[in-house]
Amino acid sequence: MRADGGVTMVDVGSKAVTERFAHARALVRMPPTAEDALRAATAAKGDAFTTAQIAGILAAKQTANLIPLAHPLPLANVEVAFVWKARGVLQIDATANTNAQTGVEMEAMTAASVAALTIYDMTKSLDKGISIESIRLVEKRGGKSGTWRSEGEA
């Protein structure tokens, strides 16, 4: 924060370019009707998983346009994956990596968030009770602070 109370973009100009990696996760909780439609690929709008995967990747690439003080980064890779954790609980994992002067945590979290929102959009006609929960950073690597993992993660 500036002395006058205003906001500022963090100056990363003197930081070394290093390999950066981040893994974020979102959980989408849904009733059986929505889960069954996703599993059978019969959501009204079409292939929800492919659509959400593309949406998450595109969102990561737009993070600096969405988060006011985020730096634009040359992303080397973004991946979005889905796994059913329990009946009615879809886990979305997003990873991002680059070689840059700042980390990719916001890119991974943006990818997970937008993928979750897309799953909601693709299934909302089946049930409005779908909820997006627990969007969080799971792991980050690189930079001055090194590696960080959320408690309970391998």
Active site residue 121: yes
Q: Which of 91, 94, 59 is nearest to 79 (CA)?
A: 94
* Secondary structure of 94-123 in HEC code, one letter for each residue: EEEEEEECCCCHHHHHHHHHHHHHHHHHHH
Quick one: 11 exposed, middle or buried, by C-beta within 10 A (0-12, 13-18, 19+)? exposed
Q: Which of 73, 61, 146, 143 is nearest to 110 (CA)?
A: 61
Q: Catalytic pick from 4, 36, 93, 121?
A: 121
Instruction: Give me the active site residues, please.
Output: 121
